[in-house]
Chain A
Amino acid sequence: MEVQQSLWEFLFQQSDKLWSQTIAHIGLTCISLLMAVLVGVPLGIWIADRKKAAWIVLGFAGIMQTIPSIALLGFMIPLLGIGPLPAITALFLYALLPVIRNTYTGISGVEAAVTESAKGMGMNKWQILTSVELPLAMPVILAGIRTATVINVGVATLAAYIAAGGLGEFIFGGIALNNTNMILAGAIPAALLSIFLDFLLSLLQKSGIRRMNKVTVILPVLLLFLSSFYLVPYTGNRLLGGFTPEFMGREDGYLGLKSKYKLDIPTVVISDAVMYKAAFEKKLDVISGYSTDGRLKAYNLLTLQDDQHIFPPYYACPLIRKEVLEHYPEVETALNLLSGTINDSIMTELNYKVDYLKLAPEKVAHEFLKAKGLYKKPLNGDKGVIRLGSKIFAEQYILVEMYKALIEGNTRLKVQTHTGLGGTKICFDALVNGKIDLYPEYTGTGLLVILKPDANTMKRISGSREKVYDFVRSEFSRQFNLQWLKPIGFNNAYALMMRKEQAQSLNITTITDLKQFSSNEH
């Protein structure tokens, strides 16, 4: 009951956001669907009596369908940038196959004797199409549109990754922030939306063979009506911020920016993976990066000074299950070899090699260990298996490769890696549930995302990374039976970044400068 209550509370508190996200979601779904219908139905009709063309068109649409949705969104960025345009394009491509295929199947499934007698009675091509083929094929065509709708409502959640809004903002924010209510606040409306739209279309479908002609009018009107809700936020020439879902919900993130700096710039939610590039390509002006991120250097970005100290520095450490430590204490010894060897600039450099120079994380990790004299050949032992996890960005991949080399080189244990686990919540849940044994984590994330301490505790410990480390260490041990090992050495903190030349031309070096500039502009 308590969970349900707080979910209602959450929905109530966030009703503004929920509403705008839902509208954006409907807009994304319906605009892309409308385009798919406008293109797919005529195309399906056109290929119905052209075998070769049908083969090519269906093949193309089929290939579009097999591309993983997140990858398709990724492909769109270099072509169309970020925001609604690439999202709608990707959704459109997704919806095409069911629409084309069902139109094709529906039209070519009309009994030949019927179309032939229509022709034999003197109907012309257009009359045959509108009064025979389309009405008879309409149930099949509508079934295709329904499939496309359900697919699109689902895939549209991913649009949040490329700053197109939609309910994915809540879903991915919730995953990143370990906030079940937030996940549900996105997932439940998305599911309801899918059921609702499917239901609307089923009404059309059931309205019977008689009124099929009207459907051809009602359907586009309905879709247009629904999509007209979607108003892309207009920013004009103002600076546009693009922040990750996690950043949006963290006290040492967007919430702090708003409360301490009173910063109020238009923002969009975007995935960490495409954010830097989008800033580089001038699609975004201000982004939330990590201070050690290699792309900082690669894309010539400038970190704004945090003059009011809302982004405290945090340690990066291996986080491990205690049972594993008790079983294989040698793991700790092996991992501690790395402690103190990597400072901020070294980590940035390593990240740069992976993020920008596109070297394999394994190679970068091994080269570093060799340079430090820590690399040993794997002992190929058979004492047991240690499962390493990582989040989905370069730094974590590199750290995991280093851990792997250290464990296999110094102990008789084998290592399995599970890299690319979505975010903090996924890694943490996997660890707590014993699906992995350890992963690199940051004390700040542990504090703000997992522990979420009350205001008093925050006041007492914030500002000192030692205090944060001690607090997190004791609480994790007590609450979750997890152990924070020795810090690796570098700090990782959030940072606001801008393109260097833009920051210089606007004379912005601190977050306060940014705030001043944006209020003047306002």
Chain B
Amino acid sequence: MIIAENISKDFRGIHAVKNVSFEVKEGKTLVLLGTSGCGKTTTLKMLNRLIEASSGTIHINGHNIFDQKPELLRRTIGYVSQNNGLFPHYTVAENIAIVPNLLRWNKAEIHAKTEELLDQLKLPFEQFADIYPSELSGGQQQRVALARALISDPPVLLMDEPFGALDPITRAQVRAEFTAMPFLKRKTIVLVTHDVQEAFELGDAICLMDKGEIVQSGTAKELVFKPKNAFVKSFFGQQRFFLELKSLTFDDVWNELETADEPFGTKDFTSSTSLWDGMEKLSNLNEKMLNVYKSADKSLKYFTLTTIQTAYKKYKERI
């Protein structure tokens, strides 16, 4: 759990960040979203004191971060920097072992943990442990960077544009893998990005920042459907339709969907899936209709492209 209260940063009289406050609940992901220069990276770096806040307080899991030595604090927080930041002169295994070595783990322990982690990230240990970052693809490098940040199992993970250096296709892939990783679900994550789609996919909550301030924070749905001002509205303007479908889940439009007949009694989806993903699946599979399952009341419903459209329209009218 991270609580930041009124944090500010001045660089020689320029207010890079002004009175920013937010809270990230344990196991949740907060995305700091904004254009370049809006102060989102500065805000992130203040959390592990790569940049010292000029004022304000930050508590991580109940501890005031300013009470700890910066180096010791950083060893307890996973950090993935922009452009992955792997050491080019260290092998994959050595890169991953950096924090454990700082924490003085024994060799066997480091080896076991590295092997486990690499296998989970689909980088088989035997094949990848002893090669250098330059021999890896961009996506593989990013996964190693992630492994490096996660090896000591820190409860908190900070990520600065983690997928920024990847091409769009690899980026979508790595992101999908990232969301699918079970052990990431337990982490409290703060992620910086300028990519709206990324923010919508990864963020439980989003802080939209501009000129050093948080303009609006909330869920993706809140930001799209209830923009606080013209800036927020225009920020999502270009991809509005997509973003709306992306932020709405079947739960949101449950009442507008038809109940499924018996023959379609399979659960293709859970109701927390976004409308967009449902439509995508439908068009990919070339099916007329699919079923969604709502675990809360164990009910099953079906949808077609047409029913989704209708449901979406009704939802918009309702709010």
Residues on A facing B (Cβ under 8 Å):
111, 113-114, 116-124, 127, 132, 135-136, 209-210, 212
Contacts and interface: CB of A to CB of B under 8 A. Distances in A.
A121 B79 contact: yes
Interface string B80-95: 1111111111000000
Contact of A117 (B72, B75, B85): B85
B88 A136 contact: yes
A113 B82 contact: yes
Contacts of A117: 79-81, 84-86, 145
Interface residues of B, number: 26
A480 to B, nearest CB: 64
Contact of B87 (A118, A122, A124, A210): A118
A120 B74 contact: yes
A123 B148 CA distance: 14
B79 A120 contact: yes
Contacts of B260: none
Contacts of B50: 116, 119-120
Given A122-B99, A124-B71, A116 B88 contact: no
A114 B71 contact: no
A136 to B, nearest CB: 6
Given A120-B158, A123-B102, 6 more contacts: A111-B83, A111-B85, A113-B85, A117-B86, A121-B75, A122-B75
B104 to A, nearest CB: 12
Given A119-B50, A120-B79, A122-B99, A113 B84 contact: yes
Contacts of B72: 122
Q: Taking chain A's interface residues, is the majority helix, strand, or loop, or is none over half, making it mixed?
A: helix
Contacts of A121: 74-75, 79, 98-99, 102, 148-149
Interface in B91-127: 98-99, 102
B79 A136 contact: no
Nearest to A120: B79
B71 A120 contact: no
Nearest to B81: A117
Interface in B31-77: 48, 50, 71-76
11 contacts: A111-B85, A114-B85, A114-B87, A117-B85, A119-B50, A120-B81, A121-B75, A122-B76, A123-B71, A132-B87, A136-B89
A130 to B, nearest CB: 12
A120 B41 CA distance: 13
A122 B89 contact: no
Contacts of A212: 89
Task: Tell me which of B73, B74, B81, B102 has the highest count of chain A C-beta atoms within 10 A of its own C-beta.
Answer: B81
A210 B132 CA distance: 11
Task: Tell me which of B50, B71, B85 has the highest count of chain A C-beta atoms within 10 A of its own C-beta.
Answer: B85
A113 B99 contact: no
A496 to B, nearest CB: 63
Interface string B221-238: 000000000000000000
A123 B72 CA distance: 9
A140 to B, nearest CB: 13
B298 to A, nearest CB: 46
A212 B87 CA distance: 14
Contacts of B89: 135-136, 209-210, 212
Contacts of B73: 122
A38 B145 CA distance: 36
Nearest to A209: B89
A113 B84 CA distance: 7
Nearest to A135: B89
A117 B149 CA distance: 10
A118 B80 CA distance: 10
Nearest to A119: B50
A127 B70 CA distance: 14
A114 B87 CA distance: 6
B85 A116 contact: yes
A417 to B, nearest CB: 60
Contacts of B81: 113, 116-117, 120
Given A113-B81, A113-B82, A119 B88 contact: no
B136 to A, nearest CB: 15
A121 B72 CA distance: 9
A118 B148 CA distance: 11
Contacts of B149: 121
Given A121-B74, A121-B102, A123-B71, A113 B79 contact: no
A116 B99 CA distance: 14
